[in-house]
Amino acid sequence: MGEKQNAMSLEIKVPAVGESITEVTIGQWFKNTGDYVEMDEVICELESDKATFELTAEAAGVLTVKGEAGDTLEIGEVICEIDTKASAGDSKPEASEKNNTEDKKTESKPASESKSGKTGEVKEMVVPTVGESITEVNLATWLKGDGDFVELDEIIAEVDSDKATFELPAEARGILRHVAEEGDTLEIGGLICKIEIVDGDAPAESSEEASSAEASGSDTQGSGSYAEGHASPAAAKILAEKGIKAQDVKGTGKDGRITKEDAEKAQKPAAKPAAEKTAPKAAAAEAPAVTGDRNTKREKMSSLRKTISKRLVAAKNETAMLTTFNEVNMKPIMDLRKQYKEMFKEKHNVNLGFMSFFTKAVCVALQEWPSVNAQIDGTEIIYHDFCDISIAVSAPKGLVVPVIRNAEKLSFDQVEKEVVRLATKARDGKLTIEEMTGGTFTLTNGGIFGSMMSTPIINQPQSAILGMHNIVERPMAVNGEVKILPMMYIALSYDHRIIDGRESVSFLVRVKQLLEDPARLLLGV
């Protein structure tokens, strides 16, 4: 019997997905054991340490899964089998026996229960793998309530990792049952919810729920709904900033949900009048009344904020960090921008900002001083012949550092477009892990917030970071005369273990020269 099955079954093995990749992890199955699959149909997702790949069926037939989601398999290992002799109506004996049992159960169910559309199957959803180095996530917000009907692939929750926010889609169609609560920290592969699978139309409210509603005399206009009094993610953020509780706001959204507009209009409830004093007036005079609000609030740190904290402390503790300063006369760049900004925008459809000048300047200087573009790996130094420039962006949930790849080869307009694209995705929380991974040198611009001078912290494992600051008109001595010039302080923080003082100062002077004479950037001198 085993030989016959082997003759009828096609073994699907983990394919070679890259030169240096020796193993993969099963991300999720799109098909289950007993399902009929067509040739070239996508049946699962495989994740390596570099990318995610789709695995397709090599033939049509009935699928038998050999590995579970989360399993790590070596290249060439059997991941599933396909019974190529089976037709679309066939299934495995175990599945047939189970189906017969389920059919009998269904026949014995009351008509009212079978009408609900529930199949009796329950899909357990676990936290998916969201990145190579991410081991846990924080359940930020449930977008669908416990007991809500959800469609396949409908977004049901948002989860925060230490690098980005991800949307969690439903893996089945049916009734959602929460297992984890908002704010819970879950490991990758941990159970987050269950879905009671439903066929046909969404089931009506169960008789138990209806009877309990009648018994409690609840209003049928949506009273007791999960959405009622529940704030959307955007509304919750606004209410938290205002220090207003959700229960103090009346929602105008569907089923009473609090919308962003509701949160923006919400005002703090008026303070209750103090109770009348029963003590003598002389006693009341001993302690003067405190006027004004004295509210406080306590919030749990997000995964991203906790990771930022750990990385910043590690950078201070694990590197021999020093900072050297210089100042730049920004008038030549400002004159150049004023002269050509309209032509530049008309031709390239993007503004000519300061970031392209700084990016191009540091790329030239990095190639002249390669140790500033290097990093330490154990007892070795890794030198890069390319410039992947990280740009620090202040996103709503914390600092993120997306990367401009091969910036040394990009033109001014290409740099500006990439800066705008990455900054927009960062503020929308849509950056991918790949877009934030790597980087050989970092630029951070505290000047946009009004900073005059700072000592930026190195973005490990990089060895240096350049801080830009605000532009201030100051009196400067030029050829024996005092002139008012727009000046900017620039600061280079560097790891003294790999970069000597001579190299750090020379690098910063070179950046200063290029910025004060931007024609050098165009001529490459």
The catalytic site residues sit at 496, 500
Q: Is the peptide bond before 273 cis (omega within 30 degrees of 0)?
A: no
Pairing between β-strand 481-495 and β-strand 471-478 as defined by DSSP bridges = antiparallel
Residue 47: how many CA atoms within 13 Å on its side-chain side?
16
**Contact (CB, 8 A) for 433 and 131:** yes
Task: Give the H/E segment covering residue 312.
Answer: helix 303-318
Query: Which residues share a beta bridge with 487?
Result: 329, 472
Write a three-state SS string for 351-387.
Answer: CCCHHHHHHHHHHHHHHHCHHHHCEEECCEEECCCCC
CA 285 to chain CA centroid, nearest Å: 55
**311 contacts: CB under 8 Å, gap ≥ 6:** 460
Residue 486: how many CA atoms within 13 Å on its side-chain side?
11
**514 contacts: CB under 8 Å, gap ≥ 6:** 360, 361, 364, 365, 520, 521
From 507, 422, 502, 509, select the one nearest 464 (Cα to Cα). Answer: 507
Give the separation between CA 332 and CA 338, rounded to whole angstroms.
Answer: 10
Sign of CA dihedral 113, 117, 122, 127: negative
Give the separation between CA 9 and CA 81, rounded to whole angstroms.
Answer: 6
Q: Which amino acid is it at 311?
A: R
From 522, 350, 508, 377, select the one nearest 440 (Cα to Cα). Answer: 377
Q: Token pair 């394919």 is at which residue? A: 15
**Contact (CB, 8 A) for 454 and 469:** yes
Give the separation between CA 84 and CA 10, rounded to whole angstroms.
Answer: 7
Say if residue 417 is exposed, middle or buried (CB neighbours under 10 Å; 0-12, 13-18, 19+): middle
Instruction: Count H helices and E strands in the chain, helices first.
Output: 14, 27
Q: Hey, what's the torsion of the CAs at 254, 256, 257, 260, to 10 degrees? A: 90
From 130, 148, 150, 149, select the one nearest 140 (Cα to Cα). Answer: 130
Q: Which amino acid is it at 126?
A: V
Residue 193: how many CA atoms within 13 Å on its side-chain side?
28
